[in-house]
Protein backbone atom coordinates (compact mmCIF):
# COMPACT_ATOMS: atom_id res chain seq x y z
CA UNK A 1 0.00 0.00 0.00
CA UNK A 2 1.33 3.41 -1.00
CA UNK A 3 1.72 6.00 1.72
CA UNK A 4 -0.36 8.92 0.45
CA UNK A 5 1.51 11.66 2.35
CA UNK A 6 4.91 10.35 1.30
CA UNK A 7 3.86 10.04 -2.33
CA UNK A 8 2.46 13.55 -2.30
CA UNK A 9 5.72 14.88 -0.85
CA UNK A 10 7.72 12.99 -3.49
CA UNK A 11 5.48 14.27 -6.29
CA UNK A 12 5.07 17.93 -5.24
CA UNK A 13 8.31 18.32 -3.25
CA UNK A 14 6.05 20.06 -0.77
CA UNK A 15 3.23 19.52 1.72
CA UNK A 16 0.98 21.77 3.78
CA UNK A 17 2.08 22.63 7.32
CA UNK A 18 -0.46 20.26 8.83
CA UNK A 19 0.63 17.42 6.56
CA UNK A 20 4.28 18.04 7.46
CA UNK A 21 3.31 18.02 11.12
CA UNK A 22 1.66 14.62 10.68
CA UNK A 23 4.78 13.28 8.99
CA UNK A 24 7.18 14.70 11.56
CA UNK A 25 5.24 13.63 14.64
CA UNK A 26 4.52 9.99 13.79
CA UNK A 27 6.71 6.97 13.13
CA UNK A 28 4.13 5.25 10.94
CA UNK A 29 5.42 6.82 7.70
CA UNK A 30 9.10 6.11 8.39
CA UNK A 31 9.50 2.97 6.28
CA UNK A 32 7.79 4.52 3.24
CA UNK A 33 9.59 7.81 3.78
CA UNK A 34 13.06 6.24 3.82
CA UNK A 35 12.31 4.03 0.83
CA UNK A 36 11.10 7.02 -1.21
CA UNK A 37 14.09 9.12 -0.09
CA UNK A 38 16.51 6.42 -1.20
CA UNK A 39 14.77 6.09 -4.57
CA UNK A 40 14.91 9.85 -5.15
CA UNK A 41 18.53 9.99 -4.07
CA UNK A 42 19.40 7.15 -6.48
CA UNK A 43 17.50 8.83 -9.33
CA UNK A 44 19.56 12.00 -8.89
CA UNK A 45 22.89 10.73 -7.60
CA UNK A 46 22.97 6.96 -8.18
CA UNK A 47 24.96 5.22 -5.46
CA UNK A 48 27.54 8.00 -5.19
CA UNK A 49 28.55 9.37 -1.79
CA UNK A 50 30.77 12.44 -1.90
CA UNK A 51 33.74 12.65 0.44
CA UNK A 52 34.77 16.08 1.74
CA UNK A 53 37.99 16.46 3.68
CA UNK A 54 37.27 18.41 6.86
CA UNK A 55 40.01 20.49 8.46
CA UNK A 56 39.14 22.04 11.82
CA UNK A 57 41.39 25.08 11.82
CA UNK A 58 40.59 26.68 15.18
CA UNK A 59 38.80 25.74 18.39
CA UNK A 60 38.77 29.35 19.56
CA UNK A 61 35.41 31.08 19.32
CA UNK A 62 34.27 34.53 20.36
CA UNK A 63 30.62 33.46 20.44
CA UNK A 64 28.66 31.91 23.24
CA UNK A 65 26.04 29.71 21.61
CA UNK A 66 24.42 27.98 24.56
CA UNK A 67 24.61 24.48 23.03
CA UNK A 68 28.23 24.38 21.91
CA UNK A 69 31.30 23.13 23.75
CA UNK A 70 33.54 25.63 21.98
CA UNK A 71 31.59 28.61 23.34
CA UNK A 72 33.83 31.40 24.61
CA UNK A 73 32.48 30.95 28.14
CA UNK A 74 33.68 27.36 28.42
CA UNK A 75 36.84 27.68 30.49
CA UNK A 76 37.42 23.92 30.28
CA UNK A 77 37.68 23.87 26.49
CA UNK A 78 41.14 23.18 25.14
CA UNK A 79 41.97 25.70 22.46
CA UNK A 80 44.24 25.35 19.44
CA UNK A 81 44.81 26.95 16.10
CA UNK A 82 46.43 25.41 13.04
CA UNK A 83 49.12 27.38 11.26
CA UNK A 84 48.91 28.03 7.53
CA UNK A 85 51.64 25.44 7.13
CA UNK A 86 49.67 22.83 9.08
CA UNK A 87 46.52 23.53 7.08
CA UNK A 88 48.40 23.17 3.79
CA UNK A 89 49.95 19.91 4.90
CA UNK A 90 46.48 18.54 5.79
CA UNK A 91 45.45 19.44 2.23
CA UNK A 92 48.53 17.75 0.81
CA UNK A 93 47.74 14.58 2.68
CA UNK A 94 44.09 14.83 1.67
CA UNK A 95 44.96 15.40 -1.96
CA UNK A 96 47.10 12.27 -1.98
CA UNK A 97 44.19 10.34 -0.50
CA UNK A 98 42.11 11.57 -3.43
CA UNK A 99 40.04 14.34 -1.83
CA UNK A 100 39.01 17.15 -4.17
CA UNK A 101 37.09 19.27 -1.67
CA UNK A 102 38.60 20.77 1.45
CA UNK A 103 36.36 22.22 4.12
CA UNK A 104 38.05 24.68 6.47
CA UNK A 105 35.89 24.88 9.56
CA UNK A 106 36.42 26.74 12.80
CA UNK A 107 34.93 28.75 15.60
CA UNK A 108 34.64 32.50 15.05
CA UNK A 109 38.28 33.26 15.80
CA UNK A 110 39.35 36.87 15.22
CA UNK A 111 43.00 35.75 15.20
CA UNK A 112 42.41 34.64 11.61
CA UNK A 113 42.15 37.95 9.79
CA UNK A 114 40.48 38.15 6.39
CA UNK A 115 43.93 38.56 4.87
CA UNK A 116 45.14 35.33 6.49
CA UNK A 117 42.07 33.39 5.37
CA UNK A 118 42.44 34.73 1.82
CA UNK A 119 46.11 33.81 1.70
CA UNK A 120 45.34 30.25 2.82
CA UNK A 121 42.57 29.96 0.23
CA UNK A 122 44.85 31.31 -2.53
CA UNK A 123 47.59 28.86 -1.58
CA UNK A 124 45.23 25.87 -1.66
CA UNK A 125 43.75 26.93 -5.01
CA UNK A 126 47.21 27.53 -6.45
CA UNK A 127 48.50 24.11 -5.41
CA UNK A 128 45.30 22.20 -6.14
CA UNK A 129 43.42 24.07 -8.88
CA UNK A 130 41.16 21.07 -9.42
CA UNK A 131 39.88 21.23 -5.84
CA UNK A 132 36.93 23.07 -4.34
CA UNK A 133 37.51 25.08 -1.17
CA UNK A 134 34.67 25.32 1.30
CA UNK A 135 34.77 27.72 4.25
CA UNK A 136 32.77 27.34 7.44
CA UNK A 137 33.94 30.16 9.67
CA UNK A 138 30.71 31.71 10.87
CA UNK A 139 29.12 35.13 10.54
CA UNK A 140 31.20 37.84 8.85
CA UNK A 141 30.55 41.21 7.24
CA UNK A 142 29.59 41.00 3.56
CA UNK A 143 32.93 42.56 2.60
CA UNK A 144 34.80 39.66 4.21
CA UNK A 145 32.75 37.11 2.30
CA UNK A 146 33.47 39.06 -0.89
CA UNK A 147 37.20 38.88 -0.22
CA UNK A 148 37.09 35.12 0.45
CA UNK A 149 35.22 34.59 -2.82
CA UNK A 150 37.66 36.80 -4.67
CA UNK A 151 40.51 34.71 -3.23
CA UNK A 152 38.96 31.61 -4.77
CA UNK A 153 36.70 30.05 -2.12
CA UNK A 154 33.87 28.17 -3.83
CA UNK A 155 31.47 27.25 -1.06
CA UNK A 156 30.41 28.40 2.40
CA UNK A 157 28.65 26.44 5.13
CA UNK A 158 26.63 28.31 7.74
CA UNK A 159 23.76 26.53 9.43
CA UNK A 160 20.84 28.78 10.27
CA UNK A 161 20.33 26.54 13.40
CA UNK A 162 16.63 27.44 13.73
CA UNK A 163 14.44 29.65 11.55
CA UNK A 164 12.23 30.81 14.42
CA UNK A 165 13.49 34.05 15.98
CA UNK A 166 12.15 33.22 19.46
CA UNK A 167 13.72 29.78 19.38
CA UNK A 168 16.94 31.29 18.05
CA UNK A 169 17.00 33.61 21.06
CA UNK A 170 16.73 30.65 23.43
CA UNK A 171 19.79 29.01 21.86
CA UNK A 172 21.97 32.08 21.54
CA UNK A 173 23.02 35.04 23.68
CA UNK A 174 21.55 38.49 23.02
CA UNK A 175 24.44 39.62 20.82
CA UNK A 176 23.49 37.09 18.15
CA UNK A 177 20.37 37.22 15.98
CA UNK A 178 18.55 35.15 13.40
CA UNK A 179 18.33 38.30 11.34
CA UNK A 180 22.10 38.60 10.99
CA UNK A 181 22.42 34.88 10.31
CA UNK A 182 19.95 35.20 7.43
CA UNK A 183 21.70 38.32 6.17
CA UNK A 184 24.93 36.31 5.99
CA UNK A 185 23.28 33.48 4.08
CA UNK A 186 21.68 35.77 1.50
CA UNK A 187 24.94 37.76 1.11
CA UNK A 188 26.82 34.51 0.48
CA UNK A 189 24.32 33.47 -2.17
CA UNK A 190 24.39 36.85 -3.90
CA UNK A 191 28.18 36.87 -3.96
CA UNK A 192 28.10 33.58 -5.82
CA UNK A 193 29.07 30.98 -3.24
CA UNK A 194 27.52 27.54 -3.30
CA UNK A 195 25.83 27.73 0.08
CA UNK A 196 25.14 25.16 2.76
CA UNK A 197 22.75 25.76 5.63
CA UNK A 198 20.94 23.51 8.10
CA UNK A 199 19.81 22.99 11.66
CA UNK A 200 20.09 20.77 14.70
CA UNK A 201 17.38 18.19 15.33
CA UNK A 202 16.07 18.01 18.87
CA UNK A 203 17.80 21.14 20.12
CA UNK A 204 16.47 22.43 23.45
CA UNK A 205 12.95 23.94 23.27
CA UNK A 206 12.52 22.90 19.61
CA UNK A 207 8.90 22.27 18.54
CA UNK A 208 7.46 20.62 15.44
CA UNK A 209 6.43 24.11 14.33
CA UNK A 210 10.10 25.17 14.55
CA UNK A 211 11.11 22.26 12.32
CA UNK A 212 8.44 23.21 9.79
CA UNK A 213 9.75 26.80 9.87
CA UNK A 214 13.24 25.39 9.15
CA UNK A 215 11.91 23.58 6.08
CA UNK A 216 10.07 26.70 4.89
CA UNK A 217 13.19 28.84 5.33
CA UNK A 218 15.24 26.35 3.32
CA UNK A 219 12.60 26.42 0.55
CA UNK A 220 13.15 30.18 0.28
CA UNK A 221 16.95 30.03 0.56
CA UNK A 222 17.38 27.08 -1.85
CA UNK A 223 20.82 26.09 -0.53
CA UNK A 224 23.04 23.64 -2.40
CA UNK A 225 23.83 21.71 0.77
CA UNK A 226 21.76 21.09 3.90
CA UNK A 227 23.54 19.86 7.02
CA UNK A 228 21.45 18.50 9.85
CA UNK A 229 22.30 16.33 12.81
CA UNK A 230 21.00 15.57 16.26
CA UNK A 231 21.69 18.04 19.04
CA UNK A 232 24.08 16.37 21.48
CA UNK A 233 24.59 17.61 25.02
CA UNK A 234 27.94 19.04 26.05
CA UNK A 235 28.70 18.81 29.76
CA UNK A 236 30.29 22.26 30.06
CA UNK A 237 27.46 24.32 28.61
CA UNK A 238 24.33 25.90 30.12
CA UNK A 239 22.40 23.10 28.37
CA UNK A 240 24.25 20.35 30.21
CA UNK A 241 21.00 18.93 31.64
CA UNK A 242 19.06 19.06 28.37
CA UNK A 243 18.13 15.97 26.38
CA UNK A 244 19.78 15.22 23.05
CA UNK A 245 17.95 14.78 19.73
CA UNK A 246 16.90 11.28 18.67
CA UNK A 247 18.21 9.11 15.86
CA UNK A 248 14.68 8.46 14.63
CA UNK A 249 13.71 12.11 14.24
CA UNK A 250 17.09 12.97 12.67
CA UNK A 251 16.66 10.26 10.03
CA UNK A 252 13.04 11.24 9.43
CA UNK A 253 14.05 14.88 8.82
CA UNK A 254 16.84 13.76 6.49
CA UNK A 255 14.37 11.78 4.38
CA UNK A 256 11.91 14.67 4.30
CA UNK A 257 14.73 16.95 3.10
CA UNK A 258 15.68 14.50 0.35
CA UNK A 259 12.11 14.51 -0.96
CA UNK A 260 11.79 18.30 -0.73
CA UNK A 261 15.27 18.99 -2.17
CA UNK A 262 16.08 16.10 -4.54
CA UNK A 263 19.16 17.86 -5.92
CA UNK A 264 20.69 18.77 -2.56
CA UNK A 265 23.92 17.59 -1.03
CA UNK A 266 22.90 16.11 2.32
CA UNK A 267 25.67 15.03 4.66
CA UNK A 268 25.32 12.05 6.93
CA UNK A 269 26.93 13.81 9.85
CA UNK A 270 29.44 12.91 12.54
CA UNK A 271 26.75 13.78 15.09
CA UNK A 272 24.60 10.95 13.70
CA UNK A 273 27.56 8.59 14.00
CA UNK A 274 28.09 9.78 17.56
CA UNK A 275 24.60 8.96 18.88
CA UNK A 276 24.49 5.54 17.19
CA UNK A 277 27.26 3.21 16.00
CA UNK A 278 25.40 2.74 12.71
CA UNK A 279 24.17 6.33 12.53
CA UNK A 280 26.11 7.39 9.45
CA UNK A 281 25.13 4.27 7.48
CA UNK A 282 21.50 4.87 8.43
CA UNK A 283 21.86 8.51 7.40
CA UNK A 284 22.97 7.43 3.93
CA UNK A 285 20.06 5.02 3.63
CA UNK A 286 17.70 7.81 4.69
CA UNK A 287 18.80 10.02 1.78
CA UNK A 288 22.24 11.36 2.72
CA UNK A 289 24.88 11.55 -0.02
CA UNK A 290 27.89 13.27 1.58
CA UNK A 291 30.30 12.35 4.35
CA UNK A 292 33.00 14.59 5.72
CA UNK A 293 35.95 12.62 7.07
CA UNK A 294 38.25 14.51 9.37
CA UNK A 295 41.64 15.51 7.96
CA UNK A 296 42.72 17.55 10.99
CA UNK A 297 45.98 16.48 12.65
CA UNK A 298 45.10 13.64 15.04
CA UNK A 299 46.60 15.42 18.07
CA UNK A 300 44.08 18.29 17.89
CA UNK A 301 40.94 16.31 17.14
CA UNK A 302 39.88 15.81 20.73
CA UNK A 303 40.03 19.54 21.25
CA UNK A 304 37.39 20.32 18.63
CA UNK A 305 34.72 19.21 21.06
CA UNK A 306 31.45 20.88 20.11
CA UNK A 307 29.54 18.08 21.90
CA UNK A 308 30.37 15.14 24.21
CA UNK A 309 31.70 11.76 23.00
CA UNK A 310 32.45 12.92 19.46
CA UNK A 311 33.70 10.02 17.34
CA UNK A 312 36.88 9.90 15.25
CA UNK A 313 38.95 11.77 17.82
CA UNK A 314 41.22 8.97 19.07
CA UNK A 315 43.83 6.58 17.70
CA UNK A 316 41.40 5.04 15.26
CA UNK A 317 40.89 8.35 13.47
CA UNK A 318 43.98 7.99 11.29
CA UNK A 319 41.91 5.31 9.56
CA UNK A 320 38.75 7.40 9.00
CA UNK A 321 39.09 7.28 5.26
CA UNK A 322 39.19 3.44 5.10
CA UNK A 323 36.64 3.09 7.85
CA UNK A 324 34.20 5.39 6.08
CA UNK A 325 34.69 3.74 2.72
CA UNK A 326 33.82 0.38 4.26
CA UNK A 327 30.80 1.84 5.97
CA UNK A 328 29.59 3.47 2.75
CA UNK A 329 29.95 0.17 0.88
CA UNK A 330 28.27 -1.83 3.61
CA UNK A 331 25.30 0.53 3.38
CA UNK A 332 25.05 -0.15 -0.37
CA UNK A 333 26.73 2.93 -1.83
CA UNK A 334 30.04 3.96 -3.38
CA UNK A 335 32.49 6.59 -2.14
CA UNK A 336 33.63 9.13 -4.72
CA UNK A 337 36.17 11.90 -4.22
CA UNK A 338 35.50 14.23 -7.17
CA UNK A 339 34.38 17.82 -6.50
CA UNK A 340 30.74 16.86 -6.77
CA UNK A 341 29.29 20.28 -7.53
CA UNK A 342 25.55 20.36 -7.06
CA UNK A 343 23.40 19.75 -10.14
CA UNK A 344 19.96 21.26 -9.88
CA UNK A 345 16.98 19.87 -11.69
N1 LIG B 1 25.22 19.19 19.21
C2 LIG B 1 25.06 19.03 17.88
N3 LIG B 1 25.49 19.91 16.97
C4 LIG B 1 26.11 21.02 17.44
N5 LIG B 1 26.62 22.06 16.79
C6 LIG B 1 27.15 22.91 17.69
N7 LIG B 1 26.98 22.42 18.93
C8 LIG B 1 26.33 21.24 18.80
C9 LIG B 1 25.85 20.27 19.70
N10 LIG B 1 26.02 20.42 21.02
C11 LIG B 1 26.51 22.21 15.35
C12 LIG B 1 25.87 23.53 14.98
C13 LIG B 1 26.98 24.21 14.19
C14 LIG B 1 27.79 23.05 13.69
C15 LIG B 1 29.18 23.37 13.30
O16 LIG B 1 27.76 22.15 14.77
O17 LIG B 1 24.73 23.31 14.16
O18 LIG B 1 26.48 24.97 13.12
FE1 LIG C 1 31.26 29.25 18.15
FE2 LIG C 1 30.06 27.85 16.20
FE3 LIG C 1 30.20 26.87 18.68
FE4 LIG C 1 28.59 28.96 18.20
S5 LIG C 1 28.37 26.86 17.33
S6 LIG C 1 30.02 28.77 19.95
S7 LIG C 1 29.77 30.07 16.66
S8 LIG C 1 31.93 27.26 17.33
FE1 LIG D 1 36.60 7.98 11.75
FE2 LIG D 1 35.51 5.44 11.46
S3 LIG D 1 35.16 7.26 10.32
S4 LIG D 1 37.17 6.13 12.72
Does ligand 1 lie within 6 Å of residue 257's CB atom?
no
Ligand 2 contacts (CB < 6 A) are 61, 63, 65, 68, 70-71, 107-108, 138, 306
19 part of a folded domain: no
Report the alpha-carbon distance of residue 112 to residue 195 in Å, rounded: 21
Compute the distance from residue 185 Cα to the ligand 3 centre, in Å: 31
Residue 212 domain boundaries: 30-336
Q: Can you give the chain as a three-state secondary structure string?
A: CCCHHHHHHHHHCCCCHHHHHHHHHCCCCHHHHHHHHHHHHHHHHCCEEEECEEEEEECCCCCCCCCCCCCCCCCCCCCCECCHHHHHHHHHHHHHHCCCEEEEEECCCCCCCHHHHHHHHHHHHHHCCCCEEEEECCCCCHHHHHHHHHHCCCEEECCCECCCHHHHHHHCCCCCCHHHHHHHHHHHHHHCCEEEEEEEECCCCCCHHHHHHHHHHHHHHCCCEEEEEECCCCCCCCCCCCCCCCHHHHHHHHHHHHHHCCCCECECCHHHHHHCCCHHHHHHHCCCCEECCECCCCCCHHHCCCCCCCCCCCHHHHHHHHHHHHHHHHCCCEEECCCCCCCCC
The response to whether residue 272 sits with its C-beta less than 6 Å from ligand 3 reads no
Which ligand 2 atom minimizes the distance to the CA of 107?
8
pLDDT given at position 322: 87
pLDDT at 80: 98
Q: Could you give the angle at the alpha carbon of 131 between the alpha carbons of 126 and 136, nearest 5°? A: 100
Q: Determine whether the shortest distance from the Cβ of 324 to ligand 3 is under 6 A.
A: yes
Which atom of ligand 3 is nearest to 316's Cα?
Answer: 4
- CA 179 to ligand 1 centroid distance, Å: 19
Positions of the chain with pLDDT lower than 70, given as ranges: 345
Domain count of the chain? 1
67 ligand 1 Cβ < 6 A? yes
- The reply to whether ligand 1 has any atom less than 6 angstroms from the CB of 217 is no
pLDDT value of position 51: 95
Residue nearest to atom 1 of ligand 3 (CA): 320
How high is the pLDDT of residue 345?
A: 60
Q: Is residue 225 part of a domain?
A: yes
Please indicate, yes or no, if residue 18 is contained in any of the structural domains.
no
Residue 344 in any domain: the answer is: no
Residue 13 lies in a domain: no
Beta strand 194-201 pairing with 48-51: unpaired
Is 0.75 surpassed by the pTM of this model? yes
Instruction: Compute the distance between CA of residue 163 and CA of residue 181 in angstroms, rounded to an integer.
Output: 10
> What is the spatial distance between Cα 332 and Cα 1, in angstroms, rounded to a whole number?
25
Task: Answer whether 120's CB lies under 8 Å from 153's CB.
Answer: no
Torsion of Cα atoms, 324 then 325 then 326 then 327, to 10°: 50
Does residue 112 have its Cβ closer than 6 Å to ligand 1? no
Q: Is residue 5 in a domain?
A: no
Q: In whole angstroms, what is the distance from residue 257 CA to residue 197 CA?
A: 12
Length in residues, the chain: 345
Work out the angle between the directed axes of helices 30-45 and 247-260 (0-180°, nearest 10). 50
pLDDT digits (tens, 9 = 90+) for 158-167: 999 999 999 9
Is 155 inside a domain boundary? Answer: yes
Q: What is the CATH number of the domain that holds 179?
A: 3.20.20.70
Cα–ligand 1 centroid distance for 307 (angstroms) = 7
Assess if residue 219 is contained within a domain: yes
Centre of ligand 2 from the C-alpha of residue 60, in Å: 9
CA of 218 to the centre of ligand 2 (A): 21
Residue 16 CA to ligand 1 center (angstroms) comes to 28
Amino acid sequence: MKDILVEKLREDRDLSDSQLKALIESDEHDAALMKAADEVRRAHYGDRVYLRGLIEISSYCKNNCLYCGLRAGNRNAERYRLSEEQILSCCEEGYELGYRTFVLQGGEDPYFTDEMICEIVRQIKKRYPDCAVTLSLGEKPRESYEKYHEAGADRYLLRHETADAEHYAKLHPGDMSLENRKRCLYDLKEIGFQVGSGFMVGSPYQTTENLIADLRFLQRLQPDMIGIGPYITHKDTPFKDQQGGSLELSLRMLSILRLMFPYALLPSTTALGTIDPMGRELGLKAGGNVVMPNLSPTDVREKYAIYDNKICTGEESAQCRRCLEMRIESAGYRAVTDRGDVKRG
